Structure 1
């Protein structure tokens, strides 16, 4: 069977891949189409890291990728975070991500130096001075158990490490440095606090020893190869610059790791066609074989599907050069101004923005175009799913 599949891939590569095909492949690869995964931790495993500064919407985004028969509600996902099955920290870029415990250490080792350099630029522009002493104080504050942001701040002020009149950014940067130095990470809610309350705990109490898939020792080159291996299956077709934006790892480091995967036959390069002409996209060998064999189905135009995407869904944030495949060139691109930060896609193409509901109320949407009656029915089904999740 291998030879016919290889010939099919070769023929498909000669044709190239266009935006509509890439869009369908990405909806499947990121888990928004297909049978779904067994639980939310499995979703984060498959995606490696999930951007999550809007925490509750981010958890909703995970739920959409779980098999319908076992799809969790909001309380279950917050419990997974509290129990440490999922962790939330600043990694890859200077923003929150959800990761699995076994991946936290090696991802931070790989990307923290670059993030800290970017943070240093911010600190200079704000004239925040040396925030280094604050990281040890943050670690000491959680040594006896998890603490909330407010509790840690009060202790830093009491110790004289943090000026009570300092701008809020100073304290935020202290916490981020402590995360990047692998001193603290998201913790369970302290006694008497609400489940969703942000807390911090000692890093080694929540993260196993070693470097996960890399073993007991960290190797930077092996880490970049692992980055490619984990990024591609959950993203389908992507360019080197797509991964560069997502990971903030330089092209200089990404290129040799990709070359190693190409030489080993683990990855395939495919030329872009149509609206992707001039670009070179990369996919795993398995993705390329499934694509060449027509295994991924596109949405049925007679049965539209509406997706309530969180603002920073991996379908939107995993790409740089090729993010436009989910946008309609005839419509103005959505932005994240104000409260309408989340995106509504209809049959895979962004058609509006929506606001996270305060309760069981009619969904507040800003449309980019008019919907057909069938599309409005699809939106009603998506809203019903959101209501069920929030219960």
Structure 2
């Protein structure tokens, strides 16, 4: 094991801001951002697309229309994988990630279905696939067809239909499709999986191999996350430690991954990273302190930004546990981060120029309010674009 200096929460936070694309060199477009992060949680779709835009170089930063077009055109896809929630993913990564993680997700879904006494949803899953066989369909259109075929009771709880759709996604029968002609993605649509996803298993080649898939998971997760633990990746991917640890050991032995001890609030933990991330951190530690002449940086993060959800065991290096949630939760689900530390919550605006309603969790400094104004102006430009 290479002996590297221990890192505390501040150092890890700075590295993660750069690795997740919020600081430092930005990427050329949103698909490249998703490539770099492998998958991006996207259940709040429009805020998730906004989060991608902030990681694109300012000179080519896309607006809302361009991001929705990337999803409609299939450059980005949205489906349930990793955990039982929506993720944005590139087409070439959809098949192998689903093959790796779908069995675990379906086990979790089975528990929900038993508690709701939903019965056998298999016929509904096949009917979902049949409904999109002749072209993409919206959720409403698919539901109407399932009712007409008699596989969905019109009085069944909404969860029954949702679970049918999710099973069809996990079984690689359907995936996100383009919106109806002349409409934006106001309504989730579905298309035949093989029409939107290329054959084969992307970086794994023509055949799926579970051990190779776990190695690829580590290789793709770490560069976009900087320093993390095996438990962080376990939570993010829902792949078990029993599978993750042997793959990590192989990568460490091969020199593809380095181990770094934690310090301060991370003491006792072993962080892992790519050698490039460790070298970059060491270079930063050797640089003289130049202060913060440019002032604080404020990020209007989406509720499930990868800076937050990519980690579990070490998530506290981003969040300040001393801060309590605001009194009014409701729609204030999106975090305001000041230099990577959550300092407030904000509500997604109804449209461009509508302003952003923020609930600070502490009294902000004047410079922080100024930085927030700049972030809000960026959001307005995105929504109008």
- Asked if these proteins are the same fold (TM beyond 0.5), I'd say yes
Which of 70, 78, 82 is the equivalent residue of 1:88? 78
Q: In the alignment, is the contact (CA less than 8 A) between 1:290 and 1:296 conserved in 2?
A: no
Structure 2 counterpart of 1:310: 302
2:324 aligned with 1:332? yes
Which of 167, 175, 188 is the equivalent residue of 1:177? 167
Write out aligned runs for 1:134-173 (5 A).
Answer: 134-173=124-163
Cα gap change, 1:53 to 1:191, in 2 (>3 Å):
same
For residue 194 of structure 1, report the CA deviation from its aligned partner: 3.0
Q: Which has the larger displacement, 246-255 or 189-198?
A: 189-198
- What is the root-mean-square deviation of aligned Cα atoms in Å? 1.7
2:242 aligned with 1:252? yes
Give the TM-score normalised by structure 1. 0.94
For residue 295 of structure 1, report the CA deviation from its aligned partner: 7.8
Q: In the alignment, is the contact (CA less than 8 A) between 2:68 and 2:184 conserved in 1?
A: no
Q: In the alignment, is the contact (CA less than 8 A) between 2:139 and 2:187 conserved in 1?
A: no
Could you tell me how far apart the structure 2 residues matched to 1:177 and 1:247 are? 18
Structure 2 counterpart of 1:348: 340
Note the alpha carbon deviations across 1:187-226, whole angstroms, 9 max, x for none.
0112243344310000000000000000000000000000
For residue 363 of structure 1, report the CA deviation from its aligned partner: 1.1
Could you tell me how far apart the structure 1 residues matched to 2:285 and 2:190 are? 44
2:365 aligned with 1:372? yes
Write out aligned runs for 1:18-33 (5 A).
Answer: 18-33=8-23
For residue 333 of structure 1, report the CA deviation from its aligned partner: 5.3
Could you tell me how far apart the structure 1 residues matched to 2:25 and 2:311 are? 24
Cα gap change, 1:250 to 1:165, in 2 (>3 Å):
same
Structure 2 counterpart of 1:3: none
Could you tell me how far apart the structure 2 residues matched to 1:117 and 1:207 are? 24
Partner of 2:100, secondary structure, is helix
Partner of 1:371, secondary structure, is coil
Cα gap change, 1:72 to 1:154, in 2 (>3 Å):
same
Partner of 1:293, secondary structure, is helix
Partner of 1:16, secondary structure, is coil
Give the TM-score normalised by structure 2. 0.96
Structure 1 counterpart of 2:95: 105
Note the alpha carbon deviations across 1:275-309, whole angstroms, 9 max, x for none.
10011110011111111122899982651110000
For residue 126 of structure 1, report the CA deviation from its aligned partner: 0.3
Partner of 1:294, secondary structure, is helix
Cα gap change, 1:217 to 1:231, in 2 (>3 Å):
same
Structure 1 counterpart of 2:312: 320
Could you tell me how far apart the structure 2 residues matched to 1:325 and 1:188 are? 39
5+ unaligned residues in a row in structure 2: which ranges? none
Structure 1 counterpart of 2:272: 282
Q: In the alignment, is the contact (CA less than 8 A) between 2:177 and 2:191 conserved in 1?
A: yes
Could you tell me how far apart the structure 1 residues matched to 2:366 and 2:284 are? 30
Q: Which has the larger displacement, 106-115 or 330-339?
A: 330-339
Q: In the alignment, is the contact (CA less than 8 A) between 1:111 and 1:249 conserved in 2?
A: yes
Note the alpha carbon deviations across 1:337-372, whole angstroms, 9 max, x for none.
410000000111110000000022221111101111
Q: In the alignment, is the contact (CA less than 8 A) between 1:335 and 1:341 conserved in 2?
A: no
Could you tell me how far apart the structure 2 residues matched to 1:296 and 1:58 are? 35
Q: In the alignment, is the contact (CA less than 8 A) between 1:308 and 1:382 conserved in 2?
A: yes
Structure 2 counterpart of 1:56: 46
Q: In the alignment, is the contact (CA less than 8 A) between 1:301 and 1:347 conserved in 2?
A: no
Partner of 1:128, secondary structure, is coil
Number of equivalenced pairs: 381
